[in-house]
Amino acid sequence: MTIYKAAVVGGGAMGAEIAQVISYSGLPVVLKEVNEELAQKALAKIRKIYQGRVDKGKMTPQDLESKMSLVSVTTRDEDIKDVDLVIEAVPEKLDLKIKIFQALDGVVGPEAIFATNTSALSVSALAAATKRPEKVVGVHFFYPAHVMKLIEIIPGLATSDQTVADAIAFCESLRKIPIRVNECAGFLVNRLLMPYLNEAAFCVEEGSADFKAVDKAMVDFGFPMGPFVLVDTIGLDICHDVVGVLMEEYGQRMTPARIWEAIYSKGRYGVKTGAGFYNYSGVEDKTVDQVLAKIQSQSSAKKAPFTVNRLLLAMINEAALCLQENVASAGDIDVAMLAGTGFPQAKGGLLRYADEIGLDVILKELEALYAIYGDRFFPAPLIKRMVKARFLGKKSKRGFLEHA
């Protein structure tokens, strides 16, 4: 099925950027919001992205107007009745997303694809609430959508192969990198990213390192930003929702560090609110220091030192579990980490980096951390089997990947 016209429902930070990406590819797109004020705000956001390209000499003012002519905004369902694809990009509330798809079910043509930009919720549950479950698919963009190349394509249990193929072709037409991810809570990137972010928070809680030291160490390793800057950029509210989904599905190993809830409960969601783990208002602020001091006063002394690999081991172990469950291939996991999280290109990808270290070394370090911290470092059975089989990584020419 060829997509000739698309709609985006929800014009917040993600929705507006997704609409811009679609228009940039040359397709007409209708952005639907709940009121005219929000619709115009989304339109202004799209124009601002294009103006940035003009300011950098990447397009002319005439090109800007040509692209903007492909974008229209509306508050009415009937204005999107002729689209071939609807992408919902509303807040991470399952009931809200279901309500939107049910409202559109009788408006949009029966052949149209319903795509959800959810970062963690069940695609299957969304599909089951519609009259076209075979036409519902996860199409998860990453923030900022006009910059990030990765898109996760997530079929639900009822999604047809044709819908998956159409979604992949559509994303490729946007000049993005789509990877198919079999459905699980958190999908692939967020499922791997959250243990990494959580471990960074545990290190700070224990007093093993402060926020700036952890961020600096991960930037020195090669990430474009440290974990706490990343959370503030994504939004602590969004991360909070994802952590809740992961806890419900995976249990104790996803238990969040206490500081997450403490900062979230104060309405500090990051850059968007002027303060998160860091303060962006320019005014002196001791809130996080006070929160951290209280948590540390109620906790035992630090148990293990902060190291870069401690954070990465949490990701590697979760990646091994994803391989076991056939969520994605080893190659796609590395592509996802490179394109979706900024994992250092020089390291070749998360699993390639693991193979460089050696799976026997990784297993030994996981076992040591498990003895201290319990479930969140319980070694993935796949890693144990690979070590027993002498699939140790680069030194044995075979690990998560094959090496010449």
Active site residues: 140
CA dist 398 and 391 (Å) reads 5
**What three-state secondary structure class fits 153?**
strand
Which residue do the tokens 């962006």 mark?
280
Classify residue 380 by its DSSP letter. Answer: P
CA dist 231 and 229 (Å) reads 6
- For 221, 323, 368, the CA distances from 365, given in Å and listed in that order, are 19, 20, 5
Tokens of 191: 């499922």
CA dist 80 and 73 (Å) reads 10
Q: Could you check whether the bond before residue 144 is cis, i.e. omega within 30 degrees of 0? A: yes
Which three-class secondary structure string do you get for 222-287? CCCCCHHHHHHHHCHHHHHHHHHHHHHHHHHHHCCCHHHHHHHCCCCCEHHHCECCCECCCCCCCH
Classify residue 85 by its DSSP letter. Answer: E
CA dist 164 and 136 (Å) reads 9
Which residue do the tokens 């507006």 mark?
16
Residue 85, strand partner residues: 6, 113
- For 16, 18, 50, 119, 276, the CA distances from 66, given in Å and listed in that order, are 17, 17, 11, 32, 38
Question: DSSP labels for 2-40?
Answer: ----EEEE--SHHHHHHHHHHHHTT--EEEE-SSHHHHH
